Amino acid sequence: MANDSLRRLIAELKTFLAAQGEDEFISPAAPLRAAGAVSKGEPTGKPLPKMPEGETLTVEFPKAVSPQSAFKNPASQLTEPPLPAPVVAAPEPARVIPSEEPQMNISQKTAALAELAETIKACTRCPLGATRLNAVPGEGNVNADVMFVGEGPGFDEDRQGRPFVGRAGQLLDKMIVAMGLTREQVFIANIAKCHPMTDPLHPEKHGNDRAPNAEEIACCRKYIEKQISIICPKYVIALGGVAAKALIADAKSLGALRGKFYDLHLDSVTLPRPVKILATFHPAALLRNPGWKKDAWTDLQMVMDELGLKGARK
Ligand code: URA
Protein backbone atom coordinates (compact mmCIF):
# COMPACT_ATOMS: atom_id res chain seq x y z
CA MET A 1 0.00 0.00 0.00
CA ALA A 2 1.25 3.44 -0.91
CA ASN A 3 2.42 5.75 1.89
CA ASP A 4 -0.11 8.34 0.79
CA SER A 5 -3.09 6.14 1.38
CA LEU A 6 -1.71 5.01 4.75
CA ARG A 7 -1.28 8.65 5.85
CA ARG A 8 -4.79 9.46 4.69
CA LEU A 9 -6.14 6.51 6.62
CA ILE A 10 -4.36 7.59 9.82
CA ALA A 11 -5.60 11.17 9.41
CA GLU A 12 -9.16 9.96 8.98
CA LEU A 13 -8.83 7.68 11.97
CA LYS A 14 -7.62 10.62 14.11
CA THR A 15 -10.49 12.78 12.95
CA PHE A 16 -12.92 10.02 13.82
CA LEU A 17 -11.46 9.45 17.25
CA ALA A 18 -11.36 13.17 17.97
CA ALA A 19 -15.04 13.34 17.17
CA GLN A 20 -15.68 10.42 19.55
CA GLY A 21 -13.82 12.13 22.45
CA GLU A 22 -11.26 9.34 22.87
CA ASP A 23 -8.10 11.10 21.88
CA GLU A 24 -7.05 13.45 24.67
CA PHE A 25 -3.63 11.87 24.64
CA ILE A 26 -3.26 12.39 20.88
CA SER A 27 -4.15 16.03 20.54
CA PRO A 28 -3.52 18.67 23.22
CA ALA A 29 -6.37 20.68 21.75
CA ALA A 30 -8.89 17.92 22.29
CA PRO A 31 -9.79 18.75 25.90
CA LEU A 32 -11.23 22.03 24.65
CA ARG A 33 -14.16 19.98 23.56
CA ALA A 34 -15.08 19.20 27.09
CA ALA A 35 -17.28 22.26 27.23
CA GLY A 36 -18.37 21.70 23.70
CA ALA A 37 -20.97 20.19 21.60
CA VAL A 38 -20.54 16.45 21.64
CA SER A 39 -20.96 14.21 24.58
CA LYS A 40 -19.17 10.87 24.88
CA GLY A 41 -20.75 8.01 23.04
CA GLU A 42 -23.10 10.25 21.12
CA PRO A 43 -23.21 9.25 17.47
CA THR A 44 -21.54 11.82 15.22
CA GLY A 45 -23.07 10.57 11.98
CA LYS A 46 -19.59 10.26 10.45
CA PRO A 47 -18.80 6.84 8.90
CA LEU A 48 -15.77 4.93 10.16
CA PRO A 49 -12.80 5.23 7.74
CA LYS A 50 -12.26 2.05 5.78
CA MET A 51 -8.98 0.14 5.91
CA PRO A 52 -7.77 -0.57 2.38
CA GLU A 53 -7.95 -4.22 1.70
CA GLY A 54 -4.83 -6.34 2.29
CA GLU A 55 -3.14 -3.59 4.31
CA THR A 56 -2.05 -3.74 7.96
CA LEU A 57 -1.75 -0.73 10.18
CA THR A 58 1.07 -0.38 12.69
CA VAL A 59 0.66 2.24 15.37
CA GLU A 60 3.69 3.12 17.45
CA PHE A 61 3.00 3.97 21.05
CA PRO A 62 5.13 6.73 22.59
CA LYS A 63 8.12 5.56 24.59
CA ALA A 64 8.13 6.25 28.30
CA VAL A 65 10.08 9.38 29.19
CA SER A 66 12.33 9.80 32.16
CA PRO A 67 11.14 12.22 34.84
CA GLN A 68 14.13 14.43 33.96
CA SER A 69 13.16 14.86 30.30
CA ALA A 70 9.52 15.41 31.24
CA PHE A 71 10.55 18.31 33.50
CA LYS A 72 12.68 19.76 30.68
CA ASN A 73 9.66 19.78 28.35
CA PRO A 74 6.46 19.89 30.40
CA ALA A 75 4.35 19.88 27.23
CA SER A 76 5.56 16.37 26.52
CA GLN A 77 3.46 15.17 29.46
CA LEU A 78 0.40 15.73 27.33
CA THR A 79 1.37 12.95 24.96
CA GLU A 80 3.28 10.68 27.32
CA PRO A 81 1.97 8.09 29.73
CA PRO A 82 1.65 9.43 33.25
CA LEU A 83 4.93 9.53 35.15
CA PRO A 84 5.39 7.24 38.09
CA ALA A 85 4.44 8.95 41.30
CA PRO A 86 7.46 10.78 42.71
CA VAL A 87 9.07 9.18 45.70
CA VAL A 88 8.14 11.35 48.68
CA ALA A 89 10.36 11.14 51.73
CA ALA A 90 8.50 9.91 54.79
CA PRO A 91 7.70 12.88 57.04
CA GLU A 92 10.03 13.21 60.00
CA PRO A 93 8.38 12.15 63.24
CA ALA A 94 7.21 15.16 65.23
CA ARG A 95 9.86 16.31 67.71
CA VAL A 96 8.87 15.30 71.17
CA ILE A 97 9.13 18.33 73.41
CA PRO A 98 9.44 17.20 76.99
CA SER A 99 6.35 18.30 78.78
CA GLU A 100 6.79 20.04 82.08
CA GLU A 101 6.96 17.67 84.99
CA PRO A 102 3.83 17.73 87.13
CA GLN A 103 4.23 19.44 90.48
CA MET A 104 4.69 16.92 93.29
CA ASN A 105 2.71 17.10 96.52
CA ILE A 106 4.54 17.40 99.83
CA SER A 107 4.75 13.68 100.57
CA GLN A 108 5.98 12.95 97.05
CA LYS A 109 8.63 15.67 97.41
CA THR A 110 9.69 14.29 100.80
CA ALA A 111 10.01 10.77 99.43
CA ALA A 112 11.84 11.88 96.27
CA LEU A 113 14.32 14.01 98.23
CA ALA A 114 14.93 11.23 100.76
CA GLU A 115 15.63 8.75 97.97
CA LEU A 116 17.96 11.24 96.29
CA ALA A 117 19.77 11.84 99.59
CA GLU A 118 20.46 8.10 99.86
CA THR A 119 21.87 8.10 96.32
CA ILE A 120 24.09 11.08 97.19
CA LYS A 121 25.35 9.39 100.36
CA ALA A 122 26.39 6.36 98.33
CA CYS A 123 27.90 8.39 95.48
CA THR A 124 31.48 7.78 94.37
CA ARG A 125 31.26 9.47 90.97
CA CYS A 126 34.25 11.70 91.71
CA PRO A 127 37.29 11.39 94.00
CA LEU A 128 35.59 13.43 96.75
CA GLY A 129 33.48 10.36 97.44
CA ALA A 130 36.61 8.61 98.73
CA THR A 131 37.78 11.33 101.09
CA ARG A 132 34.58 12.71 102.62
CA LEU A 133 33.56 11.87 106.13
CA ASN A 134 29.91 12.47 105.30
CA ALA A 135 28.10 13.46 102.16
CA VAL A 136 25.95 16.57 102.66
CA PRO A 137 22.82 16.31 100.50
CA GLY A 138 21.04 19.37 101.97
CA GLU A 139 18.11 19.99 104.27
CA GLY A 140 15.06 22.11 104.88
CA ASN A 141 11.48 22.64 103.87
CA VAL A 142 10.62 20.45 100.88
CA ASN A 143 7.99 23.02 99.88
CA ALA A 144 10.16 26.09 100.36
CA ASP A 145 9.65 29.28 98.38
CA VAL A 146 13.32 30.10 98.79
CA MET A 147 16.26 27.77 98.32
CA PHE A 148 19.86 28.74 99.14
CA VAL A 149 22.65 27.04 97.23
CA GLY A 150 26.28 27.25 98.39
CA GLU A 151 29.40 25.83 96.81
CA GLY A 152 30.22 22.77 98.90
CA PRO A 153 30.55 21.48 102.46
CA GLY A 154 33.42 22.62 104.65
CA PHE A 155 35.06 21.12 107.70
CA ASP A 156 32.04 21.30 110.01
CA GLU A 157 29.55 20.19 107.39
CA ASP A 158 31.73 17.18 106.53
CA ARG A 159 31.62 16.10 110.18
CA GLN A 160 27.90 16.63 110.65
CA GLY A 161 26.55 15.75 107.21
CA ARG A 162 24.52 18.99 107.29
CA PRO A 163 24.88 22.15 105.19
CA PHE A 164 26.00 25.53 106.50
CA VAL A 165 26.52 24.60 110.15
CA GLY A 166 29.90 26.33 110.68
CA ARG A 167 30.69 30.04 110.98
CA ALA A 168 29.43 30.83 107.48
CA GLY A 169 26.28 28.91 108.35
CA GLN A 170 25.70 31.06 111.44
CA LEU A 171 25.85 34.18 109.28
CA LEU A 172 23.51 32.57 106.74
CA ASP A 173 21.04 31.92 109.57
CA LYS A 174 21.14 35.64 110.41
CA MET A 175 20.58 36.57 106.78
CA ILE A 176 17.58 34.25 106.62
CA VAL A 177 16.08 35.75 109.79
CA ALA A 178 16.74 39.28 108.49
CA MET A 179 14.64 38.33 105.48
CA GLY A 180 11.73 37.52 107.78
CA LEU A 181 12.16 33.75 107.36
CA THR A 182 13.45 30.87 109.49
CA ARG A 183 15.89 28.13 108.59
CA GLU A 184 12.99 25.67 108.77
CA GLN A 185 11.10 27.57 106.09
CA VAL A 186 13.84 27.45 103.45
CA PHE A 187 15.88 24.69 101.82
CA ILE A 188 19.68 24.82 101.98
CA ALA A 189 21.97 22.80 99.74
CA ASN A 190 25.28 22.99 97.89
CA ILE A 191 26.51 22.45 94.36
CA ALA A 192 29.09 19.87 95.55
CA LYS A 193 27.81 17.33 98.03
CA CYS A 194 31.16 16.27 99.49
CA HIS A 195 33.92 18.30 101.16
CA PRO A 196 36.54 19.48 98.67
CA MET A 197 39.87 19.52 100.51
CA THR A 198 43.22 21.00 99.64
CA ASP A 199 44.82 18.13 101.55
CA PRO A 200 42.54 15.10 101.21
CA LEU A 201 44.94 12.95 103.21
CA HIS A 202 44.19 14.99 106.33
CA PRO A 203 40.42 15.57 106.59
CA GLU A 204 40.86 16.31 110.30
CA LYS A 205 42.81 19.51 109.54
CA HIS A 206 41.15 22.93 109.82
CA GLY A 207 41.58 25.39 106.95
CA ASN A 208 41.59 22.48 104.52
CA ASP A 209 38.75 23.79 102.35
CA ARG A 210 38.76 24.65 98.67
CA ALA A 211 36.13 25.30 96.02
CA PRO A 212 34.96 22.27 94.01
CA ASN A 213 36.67 22.02 90.64
CA ALA A 214 34.96 21.71 87.25
CA GLU A 215 35.05 17.90 87.24
CA GLU A 216 33.54 17.69 90.73
CA ILE A 217 30.84 20.20 89.80
CA ALA A 218 30.03 18.26 86.62
CA CYS A 219 29.71 15.01 88.60
CA CYS A 220 27.43 16.61 91.20
CA ARG A 221 25.37 18.87 88.93
CA LYS A 222 22.54 16.40 88.43
CA TYR A 223 21.95 16.21 92.19
CA ILE A 224 21.36 19.93 92.75
CA GLU A 225 19.31 20.11 89.57
CA LYS A 226 17.10 17.26 90.73
CA GLN A 227 16.72 18.83 94.16
CA ILE A 228 15.66 22.15 92.64
CA SER A 229 13.18 20.45 90.34
CA ILE A 230 11.63 18.47 93.19
CA ILE A 231 11.35 21.41 95.60
CA CYS A 232 10.59 23.83 92.78
CA PRO A 233 11.03 26.95 94.92
CA LYS A 234 9.97 30.35 93.65
CA TYR A 235 13.51 31.69 94.15
CA VAL A 236 16.95 30.16 94.24
CA ILE A 237 19.59 32.31 95.91
CA ALA A 238 23.06 31.34 94.72
CA LEU A 239 25.60 32.05 97.44
CA GLY A 240 28.94 33.02 95.92
CA GLY A 241 30.58 32.75 92.54
CA VAL A 242 30.81 28.96 92.33
CA ALA A 243 27.05 28.46 92.72
CA ALA A 244 26.20 31.51 90.61
CA LYS A 245 28.41 30.45 87.72
CA ALA A 246 27.28 26.83 87.90
CA LEU A 247 23.57 27.73 87.83
CA ILE A 248 23.42 30.97 85.86
CA ALA A 249 26.35 31.34 83.51
CA ASP A 250 29.88 30.02 83.44
CA ALA A 251 31.57 32.98 81.86
CA LYS A 252 30.60 35.87 84.10
CA SER A 253 31.99 36.85 87.46
CA LEU A 254 29.81 37.06 90.56
CA GLY A 255 30.11 40.86 90.35
CA ALA A 256 28.54 40.76 86.89
CA LEU A 257 25.85 38.24 87.84
CA ARG A 258 24.65 39.47 91.22
CA GLY A 259 21.85 41.94 91.89
CA LYS A 260 19.46 40.75 89.19
CA PHE A 261 16.99 37.96 88.63
CA TYR A 262 17.51 35.32 85.95
CA ASP A 263 15.17 32.61 84.72
CA LEU A 264 16.67 29.35 85.91
CA HIS A 265 17.39 26.80 83.19
CA LEU A 266 18.72 23.41 84.18
CA ASP A 267 20.57 20.90 82.00
CA SER A 268 19.15 17.61 83.16
CA VAL A 269 15.60 18.31 84.31
CA THR A 270 12.53 20.23 83.25
CA LEU A 271 11.14 22.46 85.94
CA PRO A 272 7.43 22.09 86.77
CA ARG A 273 7.12 25.88 86.68
CA PRO A 274 9.46 28.85 86.14
CA VAL A 275 11.99 29.48 88.89
CA LYS A 276 13.97 32.71 89.32
CA ILE A 277 17.56 32.77 90.48
CA LEU A 278 19.49 35.59 92.09
CA ALA A 279 23.17 35.57 93.01
CA THR A 280 24.70 37.25 96.03
CA PHE A 281 27.82 37.05 98.14
CA HIS A 282 28.72 33.86 99.99
CA PRO A 283 28.44 34.31 103.78
CA ALA A 284 32.10 33.25 104.14
CA ALA A 285 33.05 36.11 101.82
CA LEU A 286 30.91 38.46 103.92
CA LEU A 287 32.78 37.33 107.03
CA ARG A 288 36.04 38.27 105.32
CA ASN A 289 34.62 41.45 103.76
CA PRO A 290 31.95 42.91 106.09
CA GLY A 291 31.73 45.96 103.82
CA TRP A 292 29.94 43.81 101.24
CA LYS A 293 27.02 43.08 103.59
CA LYS A 294 25.20 46.22 102.45
CA ASP A 295 25.13 44.98 98.85
CA ALA A 296 24.16 41.48 99.98
CA TRP A 297 21.26 42.97 101.91
CA THR A 298 20.14 44.88 98.81
CA ASP A 299 20.14 41.56 96.90
CA LEU A 300 18.13 39.76 99.58
CA GLN A 301 15.62 42.60 99.68
CA MET A 302 14.89 42.00 96.00
CA VAL A 303 13.58 38.55 96.91
CA MET A 304 11.75 39.94 99.94
CA ASP A 305 10.07 42.53 97.72
CA GLU A 306 8.90 39.81 95.35
CA LEU A 307 7.57 37.62 98.15
CA GLY A 308 6.08 40.54 100.10
CA LEU A 309 8.11 39.61 103.18
CA LYS A 310 8.14 41.78 106.32
CA GLY A 311 10.89 44.39 106.10
CA ALA A 312 10.71 44.49 102.32
CA ARG A 313 11.16 47.89 100.70
CA LYS A 314 7.89 49.62 99.91
N1 URA B 1 30.18 26.81 102.55
C2 URA B 1 29.35 26.30 101.60
O3 URA B 1 29.41 26.69 100.46
N4 URA B 1 28.51 25.36 101.99
C5 URA B 1 28.41 24.91 103.20
O6 URA B 1 27.58 24.06 103.45
C7 URA B 1 29.25 25.47 104.17
C8 URA B 1 30.12 26.40 103.83
Domains, in order of start, for the chain? 2-75 (no CATH), 106-307 (3.40.470.10)
* List of residues 6+ apart from 82 with CB closer than 8 A: none
pLDDT of residue 259: 94
Q: Does 312 or 245 have the greater pLDDT score?
A: 245
| Cα 43 to middle of ligand 1, angstroms | 101
What is the amino acid identity at position 199?
D
- The string of pLDDT tens digits covering residues 60-102 is 433 443 333 333 333 333 334 445 555 555 555 444 444 456 7
Q: Where are the alpha helices (DSSP H) in 75-213?
A: 106-121, 128-131, 155-160, 167-178
Residue 32: CB atoms within 10 A of its CB come to 9
Instruction: Tell me the C-alpha distance between 53 and 75, whole Å.
Output: 37
Question: In ligand 1, which atom is closest to the CA atom of 242?
Answer: 3
pLDDT of residue 8: 66
* List of residues 6+ apart from 108 with CB closer than 8 A: none
Q: Among 139, 147, 242, 282, which residue has the most ligand 1 atoms within 8 Å of its CB, making it the best to mutate? A: 282
**What SS3 state is found at 277?**
strand
| Cα 282 to middle of ligand 1, angstroms | 9
Protein residues whose CB sits closer than 6 Å to any atom of ligand 1: 150-154, 157, 163-164, 168-169, 190, 284
- Judge whether residue 227 has pLDDT over 70: yes
pLDDT of residue 77: 37
Mean pLDDT score of the chain, rounded to an integer? 80
Report if pTM > 0.85: no
